[in-house]
Amino acid sequence: MMLEVKGIEKSFDDRKVLKGVDIKVGKGDVVTIIGPSGSGKTTLLRCINFLERADAGEMIFDEAHYRMDAMTKRDIAALRRKTGFVFQGYNLFRNKTALQNVTEGLVIARKVPKEAARNAGLRALEKVGLADRGDAYPHQLSGGQQQRVAIARAIVTEPEVIFFDEPTSALDPELVGEVLSVMRDLAAEGRTMMIVTHEMQFARHAANHVVFMDDGQIVEEGRPEEIFENPREERTKKFLQTVREGFGGKL
């Protein structure tokens, strides 16, 4: 198992957002995390990548064991060098070109020579279908293109696992498809990904493992056909029925 977390707990003030969550991700897995808003999905992802500090929990990453509430800055930096993170809102530098956004982390944080970083950045932009937009600034790109730049930035370091936090939620509906298409291509390459998403069709067809969360806990998890066709838990059934109604009865 490449990544495993056990017993993650997280509270904000008096509200417990994660209540002892366990999750495993194997090499090459595409894990989609679904559930209603406020169920703790994003907080789980942010705690795993230490954008939020968990109150309790253990992590095993590449056979190294960590206490999540006692990770040092050095531990966190080392772990992040093995991961990529794609945010809801792109998080691009507005005053830098697409290529500069992609290569910034290589040059500044990893001290990669500029020419090598440029070549890696161009390859990453080509992979997301933006080989010809390297010199464009974020304001010259559509939301879908900006999110694809953000994905290129995440993959340029060749991370062992990529986290996606609702990567299409800020996009106009007509732009969602282009981002999901890139993510499907990454999945087909065998990239390891954890994806929080409201896109149920994508969650079903791109993943090999689906996790349903509600109220800070994992209610049910399994293969996509198990979760979407034969859910065991009543809460899962109720959630999917609501979703189906929005899709005219189909998923």
Predicted local confidence at residue 248, as pLDDT: 63
Measured on CA atoms in the order 25, 29, 30, 34, is the torsion positive or negative?
negative
Q: How many helices (H) and strands (E) does the chain have?
A: 9, 10
Distance CA 188, CA 26 (A): 15
Which runs of E-coded beta strand occur in the chain? 3-12, 15-25, 30-34, 56-61, 64-67, 83-86, 161-165, 193-196, 209-214, 217-222
* Structure confidence at residue 245 (pLDDT): 83
Q: The sheet that has 83-86: what strands, in order across it?
A: 83-86, 161-165, 193-196, 30-34, 209-214, 217-222
Q: Low-confidence residues of the chain, pLDDT below 50?
A: none
91-117 pLDDT per residue, tens: 999 999 999 999 999 999 899 999 999
* C-alpha pair distances (Å), 81 with each of 19, 143, 155, 160, 162: 28, 27, 11, 9, 11
For the chain, the average pLDDT equals 95
